[in-house]
Chains A and B, each alone.
Chain A
Amino acid sequence: MVNPGAVFAPAFLASAVEAIEMAVIVIGVGAARGWRSTLLGAAGGMAVLAVVVVALGRALTVVPIGSLRLVVGGLLLVFGLQWLRKGIRRVSANGLAGYSGGVHLEDEPPPVPGRVDWTAFVLSFKGVLLEGLEVAFIAVTFGATANAFTPAIAGAVSAVVLVGAIAAASQAWVRRIPRSVLQLAVGLLLTSFGTFWGAEGLGVEWPGSDAAILGLLLLYSTMAAVYTLALRRRAQARGAEAQAQVPAMRRS
């Protein structure tokens, strides 16, 4: 007889890692684009996940998770890079104090009140579906290995509920982050997750496994800081040049 705790604990810990990734995407997108469409996307992802899990049950491992990671990762990466570049430009222009008028840039149409913001919906839907499937895989794998599905499922569900509760409690704090910084931060997160999942979908084995996401986040944060400083210095140099030309024009 397998000790239920020996199945619950690893299923809980492994699922918690995936649930944190899911929560980070939902919280980031919700804070940046608005909560209604983000939560609709999350609910849609959960509904599809529930149908897949109920329909396939223990045969869940037939789902081509590698292809799913590649598609979701690729889409998150190209979209994350758009926000990352816009965030760098915005922070380099306005600093970390943010700017008024909401997160939406002049070249990015804001969501229409009362209508679904498909950008938020799609990002949230994909994040929840992919990470939810990974949690389901963990429960099935641990459950099948130890022939003890109940503690494995309990561990996975507990991790999702606990991380979800912590994420819900933290969203008020996330709302206080300046909008331009938030766009940069969410761009960094989407780009890091997109790089990780996309390459993993192709079959890449990342050094350090899931911890490589933190390495990617560090690399891209450093890159963003360097590019932001470079843009600020360029803008300051141009401003100084323009100021130097004014007296010269007045003299002539």
Chain B
Amino acid sequence: MIAALRGFLLFWYGFVIGDDWTVAAAVAAGFVGTWLLLRAHLPAWWLLPLVVVVITGVSLRRSLTRG
């Protein structure tokens, strides 16, 4: 039972967080930022693609420095 629960949690950790937690954190921040822009009645569609482009570059750079 505990092994099954552990496997379940590990699966979702790998699915959402993967090998770089900063990517999931940046995406979450992108969603919050988009929601805030919408609440302020400002155009919001551009924020998430921008977050994706920036965090992908940052994460690739981090993976190089980690070797």
Q: Which residues of A contact B (CB under 8 A)?
A: 70, 74-75, 77-79, 81-82, 84-85, 88-89, 107, 118-119, 122, 191, 195, 198-199, 202-207, 212, 216, 219-220, 223, 227, 231, 234
Contact = CB atoms under 8 A, between A and B. Distances in A.
Contacts of B29: none
Interface of B: 11, 15-20, 23-24, 27-28, 31, 34-35, 38, 44-45, 48-49, 52-53, 55-57, 59-60, 63-64
Interface of A is mostly: helix
6 contacts: A78-B16, A81-B27, A85-B59, A119-B11, A223-B53, A227-B60
Nearest to B18: A82
B44 A199 contact: yes
A85 B60 contact: yes
Contacts of B44: 199, 202, 204
Contacts of A119: 11, 15
B55 A202 contact: no
Contacts of A220: 49, 52-53
B15 A81 contact: no
Contacts of B19: 82, 107
Given A122-B15, A234-B64, A202 B38 contact: yes
B24 A78 contact: yes
Contact of A82 (B11, B23, B31, B60): B23
A89 B60 contact: yes
Contact of B52 (A70, A118, A195): A195
A203 B31 CA distance: 11
Contact of B11 (A84, A118, A191): A118
B16 A79 contact: yes
A227 B56 contact: yes
Contacts of B17: 78
A88 B24 CA distance: 18
